[in-house]
Amino acid sequence: MNFISSLLSNLNYGTILFLMLLESTVVPVPSEFVVTPAAYHAAGGNLDVFLVILFATIGADLGASINYVVAYYVGRPVIYSFANSKWGKMCLLNQEKVEKSEKYFDDHGVVATLTGRLIPGIRHLISIPAGLAKMNYWKFLFYTTIGAGVWHSILAALGWYLHAIVPEDQLNDKISEYAEYIKIIIIALVLLAIAYFVIRHLLKRKTD
């Protein structure tokens, strides 16, 4: 954790990519405290906010791809065994969380790869059921990129906004305070995305 803390205190494009790679595997790195502070510094002229979003999304794609490939090739018994192991618990992972992500994927189909990237507790695990279901990789990557890009854009917008009203020594407290507002935005976006895909599916069936 000291290593992670060191990276969090020295944010640049490389550390943003690496931390988001970790966050999209099973390592407990909160993206709120990576992308939002990075965008905060971008508003001060130290980074480019669009590159912050880009590198964060590339990192998320890489991390999600690792989960996908592992799940695709090793299968459910090994995944659940790891989730219940000492190492899994060190990563704040357990069987219930994996089962929850699988149920979400089963309930919503491939679109879950997009909307799941926006839901806390599922976001970093949704690539596992995609791999277990042997979803087409390029479709998986496409939806993952959109979902991660939207999520990082929300966090970047928050960081940019906070730069105008919050001194840096209060930033982390404000990020925690705004977390509830972020959840409301996320829920609204997820509901809109699900509604869009359901309506599109119904219209397609009607046309056929």
Confidence of residue 63 (pLDDT cuts 50, 70, 90): very high
Count of all residues that appear for the chain in the document: 208
pLDDT over 70 percentage in the chain: 93
pLDDT in tens, 151-170: 899 899 989 999 989 888 88
Q: Which amino acid appears at position 150 of this protein? A: V
Given this model, what pLDDT does residue 168 score? 85
CA distance 193 to 83: 30
In the chain, % of residues over pLDDT 90: 28
Q: What residue ranges do the domains of the chain occupy? A: 2-207
Under DSSP, the state recorded for 118 is G
pLDDT at 138 over 60: yes
pTM of the full predicted structure? 0.81
Q: What pLDDT, on a 0 to 100 scale, did the predictor assign at position 142?
A: 92
Quick one: CA torsion of 172, 59, 184, 146, rounded to 10 degrees? 150
Residues 6 or more apart whose Cβ sits within 8 Å of residue 26: 67, 88, 91, 93, 124, 125
Closest CA to 94 of 107, 106, 80, 104: 80
pLDDT for the residue 153: 92
| pLDDT for residue 156 | 93
